[in-house]
Amino acid sequence: MTKKYFGTDGIRGPVGQGSITPEFILKLGWATGKVFEELGHCKIVIGKDTRISGYMFESALEAGLVAAGADVQLLGPMPTPGIAYLTRTLRANAGIVISASHNPHYDNGIKFFSSEGKKLADDIEYAIEKKMDEPLVVVESSSLGKASRVEDAAGRYIEFCKSTIPPMMDLSGLKMVVDCAHGSTYHIAPFVFEELGAEVIKIGVEPNGININEACGATSPAALTEAVLSNAADFGVALDGDGDRLIMVDHLGEVLDGDEILYILAKTRLDKGYLGTSVVGTQMTNLGVEHALNRLGVNLLRSAVGDRHVIKLMSESNSILGGEGSGHIICADRTTTGDGIISALQVLETMARESKSLHELKEDIQKYPQCMINVKLSGGMKFVVTDEITAAVTKIEATLGESGRVLLRPSGTEPLVRVMVEGEDLAIVEALALDLSQTVESILNA
């Protein structure tokens, strides 16, 4: 079955267009409330990031849920993983996140968590979509839901983050930069690290509704690099607008993406004896990371791109660790979803345990150059792997051997095919990627 509204991670788009309108979100709140009310009287928590449209959609969701008879608890600005945590601890039936994650302020979206703090099951999403086709009918006045605000939401989540590392771990003597992307961690992340003893230099902590993710945070680490170097900090941490991504910078200003962080955390868990035999990455996880894990005796399992797919494969393979190069790291031994703050704390625990700098921890990894070229498809054309494309890919794979990879991946949102070639030599990789992209374009758009 194809979903009408839900994508791989909720519903997202430009504010005021398509599904991202007050009318639609109010109806979505009502439909969600009705679905969960059919299972018994329910409680739903709502949190949001700092983009200006969050106020509008928070009110719309609240009205729709209450009209369906559901009680609502408002968390205010709260990281996505914090909402997952509070959904569980407040014993709510579901959690709703108003956020477009790393997107600019003019986008927004709605994501859902189950009562366990995990992605909402497909059957529930289908049920909500089916309910959207029914007329909105308000319950009897005596059965309307009630709304309240959780005043200590930030404090609860800060304490949870701190609980994921050893109780005696002390960050005193460390100077770090924390970039909160003017997003939902602005009033949380700096305090987590300060309360553990670190000297924290804060950037990206002045949200105004429209500056979220703007030239800062995990998607733009240049600001973090500059702050680390100018302040002679030991390292830096960059989160995205909703706090589920982590990018780090070492004292030399070198950026560590999610692939390198995944390796560091995998090695630590292996040394402690509880990693298991596999770690989950995606189709885009760097081949150098896979080879580094293999040298440790650990298999890299590759899912489709997207943290939902990573979490699904982790569950199927009983893996406790997974992640993406973008910075989504899922530590299933600590929490239920990608969490930038908790992932950073796990890296800091490794630094303390091994008495090594962040730069030293990544020295075992030699990432391979990747070249990706987007091939535009002409109107209405769909990506089909022809015999000619297969032959071209096979030829390049033979050239690269075990030291390279080829990946053709259609975009889920645009009429594009992403052509990626990876290998040890950048010049060769770029030449092969260009040649393959031209072949794909000539065949598909003939």
**pLDDT tens-digit series, residues 391-439:** 999 999 999 998 999 999 887 667 888 999 999 999 999 999 999 999 9
What is the per-residue pLDDT for 412? 67
Residue 192: pLDDT band (50, 70, 90) is very high
> From the candidates 19, 53, 99, 101, which is the catalytic residue?
101
Reported as a single tens digit per residue, the pLDDT across 361-388 is: 999 899 999 999 999 887 766 788 888 9
Tokens 């670190």 locate to 198
- Do 11-151 and 370-444 fold alike per CATH? no
Task: List the end-to-end C-alpha distance of the chain, in Å, as a whole number.
Answer: 32
Average pLDDT over residues 22-29: 98
Per-residue confidence band for 166, with pLDDT thresholds at 50, 70 and 90: very high
Q: List all residues 6 or more positions away from 64 whose beta carbon is below 8 Å from its beta carbon.
A: 25, 26, 27, 28, 29, 30, 31, 32, 33, 136
pLDDT in tens, 313-331: 999 999 999 999 999 999 9
- Domain 11-151 CATH assignment equals 3.40.50.1370: no
Instruction: With residue 404 as reference, give the H or E element that holds it.
Output: strand 404-410
Q: Tell me the sheet residues that pair with 147.
A: 72
Sequence ranges of the domains in the chain: 11-151, 157-251, 256-361, 370-444
Contact residues for 40 (Cβ-Cβ < 8 A; gap 6+): none
The pTM of the full predicted model, rounded to 2 decimals, is 0.93
Fold adopted by 256-361: Alpha-D-Glucose-1,6-Bisphosphate; Chain A, domain 3 (3.40.120)
200/178 Cα distance (integer angstroms): 7
Q: At what angle do helices 340-354 and 258-272 cross, to 10 degrees?
A: 50
CATH superfamily of 370-444: Alpha-D-phosphohexomutase, C-terminal domain (3.30.310.50)
User: Has 101 been annotated as catalytic?
Assistant: yes
Mean pLDDT of the chain: 95
User: Quick one: pLDDT at residue 444?
Assistant: 81
Class of 157-251 per CATH? alpha beta
For the record, the structure tokens of 28 come out as: 């979505």
| Poorest-pLDDT segment among 34-43, 255-264, 318-327 | 34-43
Of 202-206, 254-258, 317-321, 375-379, the one with minimum mean pLDDT is 375-379
**Mean pLDDT of the region 132-143:** 97
91-106: pLDDT as tens digits: 999 999 999 999 999 9
CA of residue 424 relative to chain centroid, distance:
28
